[in-house]
Structure 1
Amino acid sequence: MKEQSILIRNGLIHTMNSAHEITEGEILIEKGKIKEIGKNLSAPDECVIVDAKEGIVMPGIIDAHNHIGIFEWGIGNAGVDGNEDTDPVTPHLRAIDGIYPLDPEFRHSCENGVTCVATGPGSSNPLAGQFVAMKTAGKIVDDMILKEPLAMKAAFGENPKNSHGPKGHSPVTRMATAAIIREWLYKAKEYAGKKGRAFDMRLEALVPVVEGNLPLKAHVHRADDIMTALRIADEFDLAITLDHCSEGHLIADVLAHTRQKGVILGPFLGFPHKNEVVHQCVESAAVLYEAGVKLAIMTDLPAMHTSNLRICAGMCHKAGLPLDEAMRSITINAAEILGLEERVGSIEVGKDADIAIFDQNPVENLTAECMGTLVDGKIVYLKEK
């Protein structure tokens, strides 16, 4: 069956690239990709016309860190698959084997303009497993994958301590958490250099990490844990992102000169009981931006729904982050930090046609409503009149 072309008309297009805004702009979509952007475009035969009604047309929103489909919506322990905390070292776990793509949160995401997510294991283990980048529309995980594996989850701080210490085994301290991660990275380096090596599933999963091809997605809140993660990244010449980074603004001048690929802040509306978030604040985004640190914002679902992502970006804007940068934090910045910018994050010819349409700017106006969402050039949501 031939895919229909789609022409989006009559919107204020926020491209999130150097073109910035196009008033009364149009986007022609063919075969799931953006074919043309401009004004007064010619509509092919049998083209579906989507009227943006003078609303905001922007790239689909990207949640750079959550656990969608792994911590499922409203079904209790039967749907909780985030932490294999019987063992502190589980790098061989793959998010795709634990995701339920029919979880209602995926539909909820589409209805709120969220088209791409980075999802994976939780933070009970120092080495927890592999994240995946996936689209939010679909029925089969394999058909929704954008990049897999995306990153290797590593966790520092109180979570591994609280998960394993009460059971009477390591890690009980931050020192042990770092030592466990170092030990397995050393083992992986040695393993990678062996010819005719006997297969080890855990070490095999860590080989792309030590070879620099798979970044560490480091769960870090406190400044000391941030620096430990960066220290290990330096020791092993690793790519790394700093996720949560609740005290990052307190050492922003330091972070600006480190090897991190970017900082992913949040969740701003979840986990107030955690000791490690005592210094977390929405002003942190502006501080890090002023220091020259690339940043994105996350929901860390199940901490909050993906629909709250734009609200958190708006909170950061109200607290001093420039509006354009707040929008970038949930679109192109997120894509670049995750290494997905060739396909998503901005409205450009040749990129995936992942597009969100709002009746007003969804970051500047927190009452804005999503009017329509496209994923891979297919209309997955249109608000009824």
Structure 2
Amino acid sequence: MKIFISSLITGMEAERAAVKHAIELLGHQAIRAEDFGALASSPQVACLNGVREADLVILVLGSRYGTKQAGGVSATHEEVHEARNRKPLLVFVQSGVESEADQADLISEIGKWQGGQLWDGFSSPDDLGQKATRAIHKFQLTQAVAPLDPAGMRARALTLFPQIERGYHQSGVVLQLAVAAGPDTTVLRPAEMEAQALTDAMQQQALFGKPAIFDRSLGMQAGLSGESLLLGQEGQRSDGASVRLWPNGDLLISLPVPPPERGMGLSVVVEEDIAGKLDAAISYTAWLLATIDPTERLSHVVPAVRLLGEHAGAWRTRAEHEASPNSMQVPWRQGEHQEPVLLTPAHQVRQALTMDTQRIVEDLVVLLRRRWNSQ
């Protein structure tokens, strides 16, 4: 396994050497800027290529931020941005020191991404070396479950969507997020799937999480449906929200998208409302995976999204709708607007659900808009 060491070089020599020793002690290859030698590309490009080449990135943060590059952030910060939605990160933050303002902001930013899963403090190079050794070994164990199959995960994500039956008319607009998790392995035993504690936790998060995905004014049902655990609500005029979880960590979230307050009664699709629902669904997904798989045996995910609404109106921004709420064209469609969309590449590191939520939401919303407006 190739492991990239990301940190300041000057002033962090002992810490970098300790991490390198930990990597090589476990039989892996350390990738460091110090070892690049003479290259045709710039040091900045060489380091970013090192991140891309690595299977894992270890980030070591001390008190100093470093010199800002042309892009307005330090070299280490650039490496974090390169790694955050592509590579697993192990983060170690020096304790007992006062960080520079920019460094404190970076630590806070990463802390929000990480959710405490792959984060630790260190007090000395020796302490860092020991903790890095344990963290790398733990990461290895999570990767040893089964080989990752991106194509299989992509296919599985698409099969999670229920088939749209001919003649079935969807009332209103519903956003559906399907997430296939991998490597494919069982993370919940039958007894765990039936445990009341899991159902209670899922219901609590669905109703009171920030953001919530269920309507607290509606009732809720929960129970097994085949191999999956299903939580659902019944809406007054349309299907309610639901969450379906499988033993391998796959899940399907369906969320009704209420029509805007001003309009002719048509199910107008307001872009900001779609983004809000998708953000809530992704946040719930990240929470649920952390709950059922805290040791992160599931390292990657394939999110797929579709909008259901056979007779829904045009796609608009909120500003466009408020400017003319009673005037629009209803496009003629044959169902192609309800086909799922996926990112490219479809598989993402699981950490991206918390580290890069905004990017994922933005890109999927753009793809949904294109799909919805396709003729």
Normalised TM-score (structure 1):
0.26
Structure with a larger share of its residues in helix: 2
Normalised TM-score (structure 2):
0.26
For the pair shown, which has the larger CA radius of gyration, 1 or 2?
2
Q: Which has the higher contact order (CA 8 A, sep 6+)?
A: 1
Structure with a larger share of its residues in strand: 1
